Each structure stands twice: as structure tokens, then as C-alpha cells.
Structure 1
């Protein structure tokens, strides 16, 4: 009879230990999930503002032109240089999986465009000098435009 009681106490003790572990396991899973999300977000937005080499626009028939690739990795190039007062045409080539990167916002020039998959373009004329940030519509991918 003594054995039976001891086994029951052991079983209860194990059950209590398991119940105490459940919240810890859930918290550990949450922490690991959060860490994975942070690392993935950092990798996705690895095209931080102006991290690539500066690319100068080429002037053709009075228009500054830049070719830019749009992909899940961000904008390439993501650091461009243009001249004030001369129209800028940005020719884009977006992959089908580019997602929100197909949208470009340049608040300092009141630009918010949604671009098509494949080839597309948009034009604006910079009216002030300085370095200005552009982002996707979710503000995850970034780049800079330097106007001289």
C-alpha cells in the first residue's frame, strides 16, 4: 500500500512540474519567434537609406535618368545623386515578388507612386538641394536622393 501512495505523489509532482513548465516553454517560443522576426526584418530592410554607392543620374535630352531595380531586397541603387531644377526620370524594373517596394514615397517632393511589375517609370523635378529619403509605402526599404 505504501508504494501506491508514493507513486501517486510522484505522478502529482510530475504533473505539477509539467504545468509549471508550460508557460516557460510558451515564453521561450515567443522570444525565439520575436528574435527570428527581428533578424528577418533587418535582413529585408538591409537596403537602408544610402547604404550603397552613390549613382549619378545621366542627362539625356534635358532629363536626368536613373535605372532602378525593385525587388524584395529593396532598391538598387538606393543612393542616387541628381541636379536641382532638371527633371528626373526614374526607370524601374520591378520583380513580381517585390511587394511593397513597388511603391516609392519621397515626401520632400510630394511623391507617392505605385509602380507596375516589370518596366515602369516616374518623373519629378527637384526644386531644393539636400539629401532626401525615399521609402517603400510601408517604410521598410529605404534609399536617399542627394540633390546638388
Structure 2
């Protein structure tokens, strides 16, 4: 191997390592739900190429309202699935869809788009 081949190989490996780190190991900002006067924990989530925020902390035993605003027409984000709560909701483009649930047990619960490409987590403490 000459110098150019070594340089290209090392650069490719470095880029692959960065992609793996970014998608699987980088720290994600966490949003905590805000409790309303009625005791409902509310979080606004924007859906545009992903979920923002994509990690949400809530308290166990209190009702949660997730407000999904879909700010795109991408077919992948047409619905949201929260399998552990048996929830599947259509998300119309440029509208807010309310998803209500009551987390009884502490843990981490994943939510995804219908294709499983967009991902987020609900962390119940």
C-alpha cells in the first residue's frame, strides 16, 4: 500500500468511527416534562427529520401529555408508535397531535415512527 491508500483507509475508518459514536454513544439532551396546574406533565415535541427533544423525563404515576407537532410532510413521520403503552397515532403534517398516557412503572420506553427510523425515549423516574 502506498501513502495515498493508507491515508484514504485511515480517513474512512475515522469517519465510520465518528458515525457510530454520534448515533449510538453521544449524549442526547434530555427534556423534563412541565407539570400543569392540573398535575398533567406536558412536553412539546417537534417532528422534523427526528424528534426534538428525543429523550423526555417524566415522573411515575402522573399523567403525561405529549404534544407532537409534525413540521414536515415526510412519509416516514406520518405516525408515532409507543409499543409499551399500545399507542399508535397518525401525525398530520403541520398539526399538533396529543398523546396521553399514564406511566405506572419506572423505566425507559422507546417511541418510533411507523418505519422505526425516527427514535425517541420516554424515561420514567
CA distance in 2, matches of 1:51, 1:132: 17
Q: Compare the two structures and name the one with the higher strand fraction.
A: 2
Do residues 65 (structure 1) and 42 (structure 2) align? yes
* Partner secondary structure for residue 108 of structure 1: helix
Q: Do the aligned residues in 2 keep the contact of 1:70 with 1:102 (CA within 8 Å)?
A: no
Do residues 128 (structure 1) and 105 (structure 2) align? yes
TM-score by length of 1: 0.62
**RMSD across aligned positions (CA):** 2.4
Q: Which residue of 2 aligns with 1:106?
A: 82
* Partner secondary structure for residue 77 of structure 2: helix
Structure label with greater radius of gyration: 1
Q: Do the aligned residues in 1 keep the contact of 2:47 with 2:72 (CA within 8 Å)?
A: no
CA distance in 1, matches of 2:120, 2:74: 15
Residue by residue over 1:51-85, the C-alpha shift from the partner in whole angstroms, topping out at 9 and shown as x without a partner, is 521100000021000000011x2100000001111
Which runs of no fewer than 5 residues in structure 2 stay unpaired?
A: 1-18
Residue by residue over 1:96-142, the C-alpha shift from the partner in whole angstroms, topping out at 9 and shown as x without a partner, is 32422231111111111112222221111111111111111110110
Count of residue pairs the alignment pairs up: 104
CA distance in 1, matches of 2:104, 2:120: 19
**1:83-94 superposed matches below 5 A:** 83-94=59-70
CA distance in 2, matches of 1:137, 1:117: 15
Q: Compare the two structures and name the one with the higher helix fraction.
A: 1
Q: Do the aligned residues in 1 keep the contact of 2:57 with 2:123 (CA within 8 Å)?
A: yes
Moved over 6 A (4+): none
